[in-house]
Amino acid sequence: MKILIRSAKIIAKNSDLNGQVKDIFVEEGIIRHIDEQINLEADEIIEGKNICVSIGWFDLRVHPKEPGYEHKESFESMEAAALAGGFSEIALLPNTKPVVQTRESVKYLQRAGEKVKFHPMAAVTLKCEGKDFTEMIDLHEAGAVAFTDGEHPIQNPDILLKTLQYLSQFGGVLINRPEETNLTHFGQMHDGMMSTFLGMKGMPQMAEEIMLMRDLKLLEYLINTPFTEIPTDKSLLHFAGISSAESVNLIRMGKDMGLPITCDVSAHQLCFTENDLVDFNTNFKVNPPFRTQEDVEALWKGLEDGTIDAIVSDHNPQDEEAKKLEFDMAEFGVIGLETLFAAANTYNESMDLADLIEKITVNPRKILRLPIPKIKEGVKANLTVFSEDEEWIYREKKIVSNSKNSPFIGKTLRGKAISVIV
């Protein structure tokens, strides 16, 4: 198979070719030539007005529904959605049925991806119940790229501390979503003026921030323990899905202290606020919830100054039976693989495109300590071709995922993936 990409602007801050417009010729999966103009026969020619190319996009947070919940999404559907969104690799949470907690389940997920590479994350505790540990070394050797209880924040501080101690011995990464669930029971949306106006129980920012402060303190304690040597140049603790201005400040302070931490934000959190829930559309029911405009602005600021390392989709398919209900009965979650880049690009007002792309290419791989692809001759191709300025409407009938729970339905977005070449 020979593929020729014509006149594409290379977006790769880690490359000497960054910002240059080049032709790229890929043959049998290898980048053979990069030049001003390439005149070779190809089986497929990719071209267009103002197209760009980067290394393959990487989504750090995807909720797979197979095995166990195939009626919401199958591997085939998830992979198609990833390709439509421009992703060559995705990291999968362990909250399937059964939970990803054995070597066999890790290997099963690794083999499931055909055109997109699946990177399984394994559970920290058995069945993600927060009680007994999984065999983390065994899972790491089987290929688990990180450890997390996924949708379930680790509530027990002793469990979290011991996990950090354990993972630090073999270079593992712990991913935890900060939420003190005792403060969010029965919560439906952000705790603020709008929740009072709508008569719904709120989920306070404090629940996220208290958990963040606890985890940072536990990590600081571990690092300062005598005779403990923990590298601080790589992430040991990653915070998933932060949503408040104070969370950004806390992580910024933790990084200033030299703690080995990283964090991500979901793309939809950069686009909406609590005010968007005024008509009770359950496609806007997410956890963490959409917060205030001030929080959104702080998240963008955190992305710009490097406090927030990555943008994720938090792709969480829910079928009609889980979403077409009264708001307080509907499940949390939105799909996001197909809209991650377009959403972030559309609502971005000041970030440079190369910086934005780095949040979905280089940084997710750094967090998981995975190899970073390159755009150079002689290497295996791992590329995403995309348009920065193409405008399109995200229509429900065109959604590739089996589930349709997206807050972007009917909205005009700017920027679109064109092709993934692996």
Nearest to 340 by CA among 266, 274, 285: 266
Q: List the single range of 220-229, 253-262, 276-285 with lowest mean pLDDT.
A: 220-229
What pLDDT is stored for residue 335 in this prediction? Answer: 98
Domain for residue 326, yes or no? yes
What pLDDT is stored for residue 231 in this prediction? Answer: 80
Q: What CATH number should be reported for the domain holding residue 178?
A: 3.20.20.140
Does residue 289 contact residue 335 with C-beta atoms inside 8 Å? no
Q: Cis (ω within 30 of 0) for the bond into 67?
A: yes
pLDDT of residue 230 exceeding 90: no
Domain for residue 8, yes or no? no
pLDDT of residue 227 exceeding 80: no
- Over residues 53-58, the mean pLDDT reads 98
Catalytic residue among 295, 305, 314, 355: 314
The number of domains in the chain is: 1
pLDDT of residue 93 exceeding 80: yes
**What is the span of the domain harbouring residue 278?**
56-363+394-412
Banded pLDDT at 228 (limits 50, 70, 90):
confident
pLDDT of residue 233 exceeding 80: yes
What pLDDT is stored for residue 262 in this prediction? Answer: 98
Contacts of 419 (CB under 8 A, 6+ apart): 46, 384, 385
- Over residues 280-287, the mean pLDDT reads 98
Antiparallel, parallel or unpaired: β 261-266 and 30-35: unpaired
Banded pLDDT at 315 (limits 50, 70, 90):
very high
Q: What is the pLDDT of residues 136-151, one digit of tens each?
A: 999 999 999 999 999 9
Domain for residue 419, yes or no? no
pLDDT of residue 395 exceeding 90: yes
What pLDDT is stored for residue 226 in this prediction? Answer: 86
Domain for residue 190, yes or no? yes
As a whole number of angstroms, the distance between CA 103 and CA 136 comes to 10
Domain for residue 14, yes or no? no
Domain for residue 383, yes or no? no
Does residue 107 contact residue 357 with C-beta atoms inside 8 Å? no
pLDDT over 90 for what percent of the chain?
A: 98
What pLDDT is stored for residue 138 in this prediction? Answer: 97
The DSSP string of 348-409 is -SS--HHHHHHTTTHHHHHHTTPPPP--STTSB--EEEEEEEEEEE--GGG--SS----TTT
What SS3 class is residue 2?
Answer: strand
Q: What is the pLDDT of residues 184-221, one digit of tens each?
A: 999 999 999 999 999 999 999 999 999 999 999 999 99
Structure tokens at 359: 């949040």
What pLDDT is stored for residue 14 in this prediction? Answer: 86
- Over residues 380-407, the mean pLDDT reads 97
Q: How far is CA 202 from the centre of its chain?
A: 25
Domain for residue 380, yes or no? no
Antiparallel, parallel or unpaired: β 2-10 and 44-46: parallel
Q: What rounded mean pLDDT belongs to the chain? A: 97
Domain for residue 46, yes or no? no
Catalytic: 314?
yes
Q: b/e per residue, 309-319, with b = 16+ CB within 10 A?
A: bbbbbbbbbbb
Q: List the single range of 82-86, 226-230, 279-283 with lowest mean pLDDT.
A: 226-230
- Over residues 296-315, the mean pLDDT reads 98
Residue 82: count other Cβ atoms within 10 Å of its Cβ. 30
- Over residues 156-182, the mean pLDDT reads 96
